[in-house]
Structure 1
């Protein structure tokens, strides 16, 4: 028997990568590794972002919140500090806005090859730590190659519409749950956590759900 955790997230959402690390740490620290199945679900923070987007994230944030670029930079500094707490070194100066529709479709495809988790991790790492333009086809294919999947097959996914329906289903499910922002975690269809909350909340929720399911920690 396993616990199911569904995670709605987007590859350009800074708190999604932080939340992912928190969930991973909570699973390890509570001793339920191997008893929890994590499923990543698609969410688009801004579907209107152009496919060929090149705008620096700092200037995009300044426009969105109607603040100066210096103020936007200060906002990102706080997020970068939070990321550091979970071992992630964000580089907002390198980041550019990106449309993530193709990235989400690619992750759905990678899932069918047993590499959905690797694809998701590589996309987040490429965007937040390396400043890669994950909205661009050539970048996506390079990442596919790096995790050992077929780039020719991936090219058809990137340039086509396959898996669009799966992405839309995830977004619709999020709407039905009333999800307004990501990350959003659902534990065994019972409990939800919205955002990158304090580490203890992830651990308490896992322990509560595991206890209700009659599971015991395997490694503590």
Structure 2
């Protein structure tokens, strides 16, 4: 990790992205264990959520209900939770020189609300700048797999949340949104094939972490 990264903070901002059933929870557990083994001081968090207020917004966002949540409402709630998360958790940790391990961040908004919902990418970029300023992740690991495989895995986990109940074509657009983001920022993104076995995925994660996080 460099002493002063491009976020302007001495810490290192690592985000994990992926569609439904990509195995983010298992992968984050592996990454967390690896960081502990390397004696790297880190904070683990998630989006939407990460603070008591942001977690309450998460509940409102994901709980199925009778009232349809307008697409723009969903987007603004995501960024409202993110603003609180940044000020309360992410920025203080990065300022203290810690690594922040975050389950999803703004790339998810571009994928789900942008590509998935069809909201303006320009509007998303405006919100990103308004809420984050120049702060961006130092590295993003994208767990990628075919939508059919991911949805089959997700359906076996139990009750689905409001967004997981969307139709297949929505998640196809989400995946393409993620891949477009990765293609546009190849220096930041590392794509891991999440359709492989858990061992293969973890081997790939270890290789990425050793080359990018533990460098220097």
Which TM bucket (shorter chain)? 0.3 to 0.5
TM-score (norm 2): 0.33
TM-score (norm 1): 0.32
> Which has the higher Rg, Structure 1 or Structure 2?
1
